[in-house]
Amino acid sequence: MLAASFEDKLENMMDLQISEKVALVTGASVGIGYSICEELAANGVHLVMIARRKEQLEMAAAKLNQKYGVKTLAIAGDVAFPDFPQRAVAQALEAFSSIDLLVNNAGRAHMGGVLTASEEDWYSMTDVKFSAMRRFCLAAIPAMQKKGWGRIVNISSIGGIYPNPKLTVSHALSAAINNLTKSLALDVAADGILVNAVGVGAVATDNMTNNMIPKYRVSHPELNDKTDEELSAMIGREKTPVGHFGQPEDIAAIAAFLLSGRNNFVTGHTVEASGGADRFM
């Protein structure tokens, strides 16, 4: 049962036809991942939440359990370890007997071009952003095939379509994610499994505040008198046609539809969620 305080809200929501299904979400404790979990929980979806920081993750899972009344399972661990996805999926199946929805969200934007990124940058980002996604798909899809139904959403970047040379590490991997998404979608379409990606533009998350904004300050020292909020608002107005950065909830709404029972015909697609921008920052 969902929390009574949300009854009025739920009456006005589109029925996504996924109540009582089970979702596994990586990078689930904060930002876009947490917002996707909350959107799904509000629609009655039980959650397997995965992130590295155990205490933060368990607090996030408990909050959604209390707020929406859905079952939550927190699995703390590093998705970069090759055997972790298989172990996490096995633990999820033991707890819930099924995985219906998979969201590969782990990873973040990372500064570095071909001439400046280190070998470690490439290895670590590939492990977290691309290899983990592939391994989670490989581990979770057999359970979906048994039921003849499943939905997968891979969180990518607008840079996978319109690359920024200052973010080549992230954007090259995003292009690979988009390509793998299309290929996998064609591979499992006959099994009732739809696979899509969301190409995310500039979204106001902790990663932007803690990583992107400080680096922007270094390249634009004349703006150091502005607060983070003022600088973020200014960049959003200048860089995004809609005049502002996105919010994690904006991405969550898109992902929830692609994951839902209302989506029966969209697969292999990368949705551009960038406020009209064709560059990331």
State how far the Cα of 281 lies from the Cα of 275, in Å rounded to an integer: 12
Predicted TM-score (pTM) above 0.85: yes
Position 12 pLDDT exceeds 80: no
Give the strand pairing for 22-26 and 101-104.
parallel
Query: How far from the centroid of its chain's Cα atoms is residue 83's Cα?
Result: 21
Instruction: Sketch the domain layout of the chain as residue ranges.
Output: 17-203+248-270, 209-245
| Statement: residue 137 has pLDDT above 60 | yes
Q: Looking at this protein, which amino acid is placed at residue 23?
A: A
Nearest-CA neighbor of 232 among 199, 281, 274, 170? 281
List, for residues 37-81, the tens digit of each pLDDT value.
999 999 999 999 999 999 999 999 999 999 999 999 999 999 999
What are 104's two structure tokens?
């590969």
A 10 A CB-CB count for 127 gives 18
Indicate the pLDDT class of residue 5, thresholds 50, 70 and 90. low
The fold of 17-203+248-270 is: Rossmann fold (3.40.50)
Phi first, then psi, for residue 264 (nearest 5°) are -125, 5
For 100, list phi and psi in degrees, rounded to 5: -100, -35
Contact of 50 with 77, CB cutoff 8 Å: yes
